[in-house]
């Protein structure tokens, strides 16, 4: 039961606080006075929801923030909900229990991502959410008749919501979620779920077919592979025989090149040797004859040297004589006789010694000088002879040096060189000859090389490089074919093995999935039969609810003094139909007057409210419920409402909040409180009457 509501700068209310008692409370006033704002204040404070377009529209014009506070009593406990909103859209919400010690906060805010929700806590405490309260406990202006104007299917959905079958929807969805999660877990573990059994069975059959089709293909390939193996074996043997010939062909060419190169180099060496020997022969020619004359020339040189020495001695003697004579000549010039007298002793001398005669000495000197000249000529002659002999001796020495330089000691050696040179010269014409057999005769080594060439020619006789390359190509093609076949057979074997593994895996999975399918089938049956809104449980609940509402609605309708005695609600297929009965006949809804339709609608609303009387709030709000009712039925409505507060559960009586223009109909009724709403410049003003 709501005990009070307080609005601050909320819609048309600046500062309004209303106290409520159990039973009926009436809000009267003109349109726009703020009566219906009380409904928005209650639903906003409890659930954060309302009939306005946005939260900001709840704030009174000219204000920066507004709030709504509701206090209610449930099972002897007092609770309070407060929600505040500012012009920026900021929200503050608290849900508290009021005790003797003070307020104890139960929840605050709507941070659902952190598991915090004041609305959820309020819903748990009241036992009803906003949508259910709106359906069962709040009849908006002009909506009283909507319950009987609704289509049968819509009425059934309304009934489902009232009796909580939507909880079955939640349970059904939970069951679906459980089944889905179970399937997902199975799919995670096995890779499949029970919905894939038929697919897996097709895959299983396909794998068997693959194996059946692959075996003949494999056998055919293996047979062909065996044939190619045998052909390749023969070809490889032939290749083994021919392959060494390839190397021998290369060796043959190398040996030929080697022979030609060796002969060329050898010929070059022979040519150099011949040239060297010819030079030796030229240099040494006549050397031995020259050497034979050496002794004779040396003897002659000795004799000439002796003659030269003798001539020099004689020339020196004659030169000494000339010197002596010249001294005597000087003396003779001083010993001139005067009057036949000696110039020294003055004795008479008939004739002087010729050696003291100057003329004689002069003649002697001239003779000696002539003799010296003759001797000098003789000396020159001997010197010339000596020179000639020395030159000849030098030639013999040069000949000896030449022989030593060429390491020739005897004439026989020189003759042997001449013979050898002649033999080598006879080989020189081979230098430009390509006849291998002929040029191989140059020496023993060339003969050995030629013998190897002959052997290689015998070994490679009949070899065809073209045929050999063709043989290799054929072998390569065969090997490629075998490789391709190996790949094909490997692919088939892998395919067969994969299919076998697939069969084994699928068989195991199918066995497990069949167990899963049985389990899921049971879950589906539970979900379909128990939690489905069209299942047996929901059908039973609706049958019970329809019967309860029918009984209560008929009971309430009897107080309204109409010709309708009884209302029956029944479910047919997917629809819920309403049947009205008088004492004697069935009445069609379309045949009822406006007031009678309102009476039926109110009776049904009250019947639903009675069904929901087990909810903790036990509240019903009627906005202009007397519209379309005549005066008598309006009074009957007041009387019914008064009686309802008495006949409802005595421990938790029904509480009615009625918004109306017809205040006069409640003047003599059993109404706990009437509030009059007036529209003022500063906002709505509420007066308790």
Mean pLDDT of all residues belonging to the chain: 83
Residue 335 has pLDDT above 90, yes or no: no
Q: With the CA atoms of 140, 141, 144 and 146 taken in that order, what torsion angle do they form, in degrees rounded to the nearest 10?
A: -80
536-559 and 152-163 helices cross at what angle (nearest 10)?
100
Phi, psi of 585 (to 5 degrees): -150, 165
Q: With the CA atoms of 582, 587, 593 and 595 taken in that order, what torsion angle do they form, in degrees rounded to the nearest 10?
A: 50
Residue 550 has pLDDT above 80, yes or no: yes
Strand arrangement, sheet containing 619-623: 138-139, 619-623, 655-660, 23-29, 673-680, 683-688
* CB neighbours of residue 114 within 10 Å: 7
pLDDT tier, 649 (very low <50, low <70, confident <90, very high otherwise): very low
CATH number where 354 lies: 1.10.287
* Distance of alpha carbon 316 from alpha carbon 376, whole angstroms: 11
Of 655, 666, 580, the residue nearest 626 (C-alpha): 666
Count the residues in the chain.
689
Instruction: Write the CA distances from 335 to 345, 408, 441, integer angstroms.
Output: 11, 76, 104
Domains: count for the chain: 1
Q: Quick one: average pLDDT of 197-214?
A: 90
Q: Quick one: average pLDDT of 346-353?
A: 58
Of 319, 329, 327, the residue nearest 368 (C-alpha): 319
Asked, for residue 348, whether it belongs to a domain, the answer is yes
670 vs 438 pLDDT, higher one? 438
497 vs 270 pLDDT, higher one? 497
Asked, for residue 293, whether it belongs to a domain, the answer is yes
Q: List, in order, residues 6 or more apart from 625 with CB less than 8 Å away.
A: 139, 144, 598, 602, 637, 658, 660
Determine what percent of the chain is predicted with pLDDT higher than 90.
Answer: 18
Asked if 24 and 13 touch (Cβ cutoff 8 Å), the reply is no
Domain around 315: 287-406
According to the model, what pLDDT value does residue 650 have?
45
Residue 429 has pLDDT above 80, yes or no: no
pLDDT in tens, 232-265: 999 889 888 888 888 888 888 898 888 888 888 8
According to the model, what pLDDT value does residue 648 have?
46
Q: Quick one: average pLDDT of 352-358?
A: 62
Asked, for residue 515, whether it belongs to a domain, the answer is no
According to the model, what pLDDT value does residue 8 have?
94
Asked, for residue 31, whether it belongs to a domain, the answer is no
Q: Quick one: average pLDDT of 547-575?
A: 83
* Distance of alpha carbon 115 from alpha carbon 93, whole angstroms: 15
Asked if 289 and 384 touch (Cβ cutoff 8 Å), the reply is no
According to the model, what pLDDT value does residue 413 have?
83
Strands 23-29 and 673-680: parallel
According to the model, what pLDDT value does residue 341 have?
60
Q: Which residue has the tokens 């005897």?
A: 410
* Distance of alpha carbon 49 from alpha carbon 46, whole angstroms: 8
* Distance of alpha carbon 143 from alpha carbon 563, whole angstroms: 23
pLDDT in tens, 92-111: 999 999 998 899 999 988 76
Cα 153–Cα 155–Cα 160 angle in degrees, nearest 5? 95
Asked, for residue 306, whether it belongs to a domain, the answer is yes
Q: With the CA atoms of 203, 204, 207 and 208 taken in that order, what torsion angle do they form, in degrees rounded to the nearest 10?
A: -140
538 vs 167 pLDDT, higher one? 538
Asked if 581 and 568 touch (Cβ cutoff 8 Å), the reply is yes
* Distance of alpha carbon 327 from alpha carbon 359, whole angstroms: 13
Q: With the CA atoms of 391, 395, 400 and 406 taken in that order, what torsion angle do they form, in degrees rounded to the nearest 10?
A: 140
Highest mean pLDDT (candidates 59-68, 160-169, 182-191)? 59-68
pLDDT tier, 6 (very low <50, low <70, confident <90, very high otherwise): very high
Asked if 615 and 124 touch (Cβ cutoff 8 Å), the reply is no
Q: Which of 245-254, 288-297, 365-374, 636-645 has the lowest mean pLDDT?
A: 636-645
Highest mean pLDDT (candidates 178-187, 557-566, 620-629, 637-646)? 178-187
DSSP string of 228-279? HHHHHHHHHHHHHHHHHHHHHHHHHHHHHHHHHHHHHHHHHHHHHHHHHHHH
Asked, for residue 400, whether it belongs to a domain, the answer is yes
633 vs 473 pLDDT, higher one? 473
Residue 2 has pLDDT above 90, yes or no: yes
pLDDT tier, 389 (very low <50, low <70, confident <90, very high otherwise): confident
Q: Which residue has the tokens 């009232």?
A: 162
Q: Residue 404 is encoded by which pair of tokens?
A: 């030593």
Asked if 6 and 68 touch (Cβ cutoff 8 Å), the reply is yes
Determine what percent of the chain is predicted with pLDDT higher than 70.
Answer: 88
594-611 and 536-559 helices cross at what angle (nearest 10)?
130
* Distance of alpha carbon 308 from alpha carbon 316, whole angstroms: 12
397 vs 44 pLDDT, higher one? 44
Asked, for residue 344, whether it belongs to a domain, the answer is yes
């Amino acid at each position: 039961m709501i005990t009070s509501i307080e609005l601050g700068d909320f819609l048309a209310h600046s500062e309004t606080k209303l106290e409520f008692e159990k039973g009926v409370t009436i809000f009267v006033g003109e349109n726009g006075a703020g009566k219906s704002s009380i409904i928005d204040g209650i639903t906003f404070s409890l659930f954060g929801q309302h009939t306005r377009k946005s939260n900001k529209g709840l704030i009174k014009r000219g204000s920066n923030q507004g709030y709504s506070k509701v206090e209610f009593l449930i099972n002897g406990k007092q609770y309070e909900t407060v929600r505040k909103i500012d012009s920026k859209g900021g929200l503050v919400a608290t849900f508290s229990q009021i005790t003797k010690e003070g307020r104890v906060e139960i929840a605050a805010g709507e941070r659902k991502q952190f598991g915090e929700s004041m609305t959820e806590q309020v819903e748990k405490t009241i036992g009803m959410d906003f949508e259910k309260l709106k359906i069962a406990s709040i009849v908006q202006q002009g909506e009283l008749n909507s319950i009987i104007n609704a289509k049968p299917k819509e009425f059934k959905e309304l009934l489902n919501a009232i009796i909580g079958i939507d909880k079955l929807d939640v349970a059904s969805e939970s069951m679906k979620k459980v089944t889905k999660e179970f399937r997902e877990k199975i799919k995670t573990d096995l890779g499949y779920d029970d919905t894939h059994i038929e697919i897996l069975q097709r895959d299983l059959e396909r794998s068997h077919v693959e194996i059946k089709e692959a075996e003949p293909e494999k056998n055919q390939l293996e047979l062909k592979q065996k044939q190619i193996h045998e052909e390749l074996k023969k070809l490889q043997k032939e290749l083994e025989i021919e392959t060494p010939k390839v190397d021998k062909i290369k060796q043959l060419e190398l040996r030929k090149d080697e022979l030609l190169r060796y002969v060329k180099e050898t010929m070059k060496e022979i040519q150099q040797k011949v040239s060297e020997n010819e030079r030796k022969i030229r240099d040494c020619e006549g050397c031995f004859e020259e050497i034979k004359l050496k002794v004779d020339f040396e003897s002659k040189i000795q004799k000439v040297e002796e003659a030269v020495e003798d001539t020099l001695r004689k020339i020196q003697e004659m030169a000494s004589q000339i010197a002596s004579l010249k001294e005597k000549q000087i003396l003779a010039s001083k010993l001139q006789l005067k009057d036949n007298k000696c110039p020294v002793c003055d004795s008479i001398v008939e004739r002087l010694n010729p050696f003291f005669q100057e003329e004689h000495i002069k003649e002697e000197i001239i003779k000696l000088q002539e003799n010296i000249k003759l001797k000098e000529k003789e000396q020159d002659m001997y010197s010339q002879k000596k020179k000639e002999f020395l030159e000849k001796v030098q030639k013999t020495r040069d000949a000896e040096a030449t022989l030593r330089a060429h390491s020739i000691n005897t004439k026989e050696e020189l003759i042997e060189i001449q013979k050898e040179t002649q033999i080598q010269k006879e080989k020189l014409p081979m230098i430009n000859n390509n006849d291998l057999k002929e040029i191989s005769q140059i020496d023993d080594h060339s003969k050995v090389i030629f013998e190897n060439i002959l052997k290689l020619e015998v070994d490679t006789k009949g070899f065809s490089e073209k045929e050999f390359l063709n043989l290799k190509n054929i072998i390569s093609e065969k090997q490629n074919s075998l490789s391709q076949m190996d790949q094909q057979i490997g692919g088939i074997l892998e395919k067969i093995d994969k299919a076998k593994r697939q069969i084994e895996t699928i068989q195991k999975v199918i066995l497990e999935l069949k167990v899963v399918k049985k389990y899921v089938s049971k879950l589906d049956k539970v979900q379909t039969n128990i939690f489905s809104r069209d299942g047996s449980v929901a059908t039973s609940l609706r049958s019970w609810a329809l019967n309860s509402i029918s009984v209560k609605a008929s009971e309430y309708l009897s107080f309204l003094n109409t010709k309708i005695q009884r209302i029956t609600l029944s479910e047919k297929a997917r629809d819920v139909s309403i049947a009205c009965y008088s004492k004697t006949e069935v009445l069609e809804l379309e045949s009822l007057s406006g007031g009678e339709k309102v009476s039926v609608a109110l009776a049904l609303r009250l019947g639903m409210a009675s069904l929901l009387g087990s909810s903790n709030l036990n509240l019903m709000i009627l906005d202009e419920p007397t519209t379309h009712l005549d005066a008598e039925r309006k009074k009957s409505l007041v009387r019914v409402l008064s009686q309802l507060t008495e006949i409802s559960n005595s421990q938790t009586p029904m509480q009615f909040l009625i918004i109306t223009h017809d205040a006069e109909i409640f003047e003599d009724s059993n109404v706990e409180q009437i509030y009059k709403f007036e529209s003022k410049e500063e906002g709505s003003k509420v007066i308790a009457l």
